[in-house]
Chain A
Amino acid sequence: KAGVTQTPRYLIKTRGQQVTLSCSPISGHRSVSWYQQTPGQGLQFLFEYFSETQRNKGNFPGRFSGRQFSNSRSEMNVSTLELGDSALYLCASSPWTLNTEAFFGQGTRLTVV
């Protein structure tokens, strides 16, 4: 069974640019969550999508957005990149039934220069 796939694995962008990251969940999983990991702030929840709808959102500015497609694949977008957006972005998928767990992808390492 294939795991959670994130692309690209590494990305270098310039301040002010925008970036789109992609996440393909485990087959059959309908919930996709995104997390940002930085040395200073640790692991923080960004948002969660289920059936193409954003159901939960963390405390991040509006520059961070996402969407989910009918096949459950998800993308997150960061506009007007800042140096502080440099981080490991992790995607997790779950079936979203009670008493299940989330499985994490390998992450996308974003560096903003």
Chain B
Amino acid sequence: ELKVEQNPLFLSMQEGKNYTIYCNYSTTSDRLYWYRQDPGKSLESLFVLLSNGAVKQEGRLMASLDTKARLSTLHITAAVHDLSATYFCAVDVNNAGNMLTFGGGTRLMVKP
């Protein structure tokens, strides 16, 4: 059974600080997604990582994928309050985006 584990589950940080969220998974997969969810809202796609060594950046967020280590990271640079949300990683077992196994989520609070 595929397991996807995120840590930390909760992260409180000051504006301007850097931090990394980790996503470990238990089976071979070349595809991993990161999503953002605001309270009561749906999932917003942040990054799609399609191969070993993939790195993508958008604003203050950067995601990377190491398929050999079965590890993805989401790095936050100089956090701002607007980044407060819950972040999920998800592993795509079918390589087609239609059957995802999600991590437990990391709730991020950025304090002014």
Contact = CB atoms under 8 A, between A and B. Distances in A.
Decide whether A and B are members of one complex.
Answer: yes
B42 A90 contact: yes
Interface in A60-113: 90, 92, 94, 96-107, 109
Q: How large is the interface on A (under 10, 10 to 19, 20 to 34, 35 or more residues)?
A: 20 to 34
Q: How large is the interface on B (under 10, 10 to 19, 20 to 34, 35 or more residues)?
A: 20 to 34
A99 B96 CA distance: 6
A42 B99 CA distance: 15
Contacts of A102: 97-98, 100
Contacts of B44: 104
A94 B102 contact: no
B42 A94 contact: no
Interface SS, B side: loop
Interface string A33-48: 1010000001111001
A99 B48 CA distance: 9
Contacts of A109: 40
Given A42-B104, A42-B105, A45-B100, A98 B95 contact: yes
Contacts of A31: 96-98
A33 B99 CA distance: 7
B48 A90 contact: no
Given A42-B105, A106-B41, A99 B95 contact: yes
Interface in B7-57: 31, 33, 35, 40-45, 48, 50
A50 B88 CA distance: 25
Given A99-B50, A101-B33, A94 B104 contact: no
Contacts of B105: 42-43
27 contacts: A31-B98, A33-B98, A33-B100, A35-B100, A42-B105, A43-B88, A43-B90, A43-B105, A45-B99, A48-B98, A50-B98, A90-B42, A92-B97, A94-B98, A97-B96, A98-B95, A98-B96, A99-B31, A100-B96, A100-B97, A101-B33, A101-B48, A102-B98, A104-B35, A104-B42, A104-B44, A106-B41
Interface of B: 31, 33, 35, 40-45, 48, 50, 88, 90, 94-105
